[in-house]
Amino acid sequence: MGPWRISHPAWGRYTRVGAVRHVRRAGAAALAGPRSRGESLYPAGTLRIHELTTEERAIYQTLKPECMPQHVAIIMDGNGRWAGHRSLKRFLGHQQGAKSVQLVTETASRIGLPWLTLYAFSLENNLRRPRAEVNFLMRLLKSYLEGNVQRMMDNNVRIRYIGRTHELPSEVQDKMNWAADMTARNTGTTLTLALNYGARSELVDAFRALAAEMKRKHLNPEHLTEEDVHRHLYTAHMPDPDLLIRTSGEMRISNYLLWQIAYAEIYVTERLWPDFRGIHLLEAIANFQRRERRFGGLSDSVGITDEEAEHAKIAVS
């Protein structure tokens, strides 16, 4: 059995301790601020800039290597509307969306993006979509994995999953396990597909596991920390997203990574997911780099900090 085999709804917590420690160190480094000018966050050996298109390279050359995101999460939205605008069946929109997944993943791997997490299939989709559409999406997932594992190998991409994947059809789980095992030794971009995923259900699963641990170890609830919750999330093995992208122009989070995106920058594009390409990922990263991440602190543009504020009187109207 491979190290990332699906065996539990929160299978992300079954991760090497060393990997978790590495992720926590990476997160601490990100909070410390950007690196010195020109120092890339990504190892030079992982970059394949020469494989970008001319248009992609033009945008990439404007980016600051020291300010690249470690983790980009995407809400892939608009497959149905893309098909509807063309008077096509919805399933054709999903098929085109699957092509976008691979194209965007390959661009991510070329620029050395360590983590890319895609919202592929929500719990709500599973419960509320017509069964025929859900069944098609399951077949499409199997087909995508069968047809793209070799391309993942060629691009040094490793695939993983988060969500209540144990509830998916067994033949789909088998194909997911196969793809994860085939790519497990790859060291480039980690592509994580959120499947049968909902952030609220993730928190419920985490709290259940945490409660069981507390009972087993006789822990005092007063001593619980955010780190304790983090350890039981599906995403315990990865850093929190720096950038959240949503396609189709919708201004909502859709129950996606609610805990993890606490300090993420959010980028919304009107472009529908089937039309989204690597160049649009680079445009989103360029927009991300024009922002100032404060993590609850003060911006340099908010004025002079008044050291006497502690002793100032409060004016009452």
Neighbouring-strand partners of residue 306: none
Q: What percent of the chain has pLDDT over 70?
A: 80
In 184-316, which ranges are continuous DSSP H helix? 199-217, 226-231, 278-289
Q: Mean pLDDT score of the chain, rounded to an integer?
A: 87
**Between β-strands 158-162 and 115-122, what pairing exists: parallel, antiparallel or unpaired?**
unpaired
- Among residues 77, 205, 240, 242, which one is catalytic? 77
Q: Tell me, yes or no, if 300 is annotated catalytic.
A: no
Q: Tell me, yes or no, if 125 is annotated catalytic.
A: yes
pLDDT at 30 over 60: no
Residue 260's CATH number: 3.40.1180.10
Predicted pLDDT at 12: 39
**Measured distance CA(68)–CA(63) in Å, rounded:** 8
3-state secondary structure 172-203: HHHHHHHHHHHHCCCCCCEEEEEEEECHHHHH
Instruction: Give the pLDDT band of residue 294 (cuts 50, 70, 90).
Output: confident
246, part of any domain: yes
Instruction: Report the number of distinct structural domains present in the chain.
Output: 1
Q: Which two tokens stand for residue 58?
A: 């033009």
Three-state DSSP at 256 gives: coil
Q: What is the pTM of this model?
A: 0.83
Say which DSSP state 313 is in.
P
Query: pLDDT tens for residues 245-286?
Result: 999 999 999 999 999 999 999 999 999 999 999 999 999 999
Instruction: Please report, in angstroms and rounded to a whole number, the separation of the first and last CA atoms in the chain.
Output: 69
Task: Give the range of the structural domain holding residue 244, as residue numbers without chain letter.
Answer: 69-201+240-288
- Among residues 79, 125, 154, 186, which one is catalytic? 125
Instruction: Give the pLDDT band of residue 314 (cuts 50, 70, 90).
Output: confident
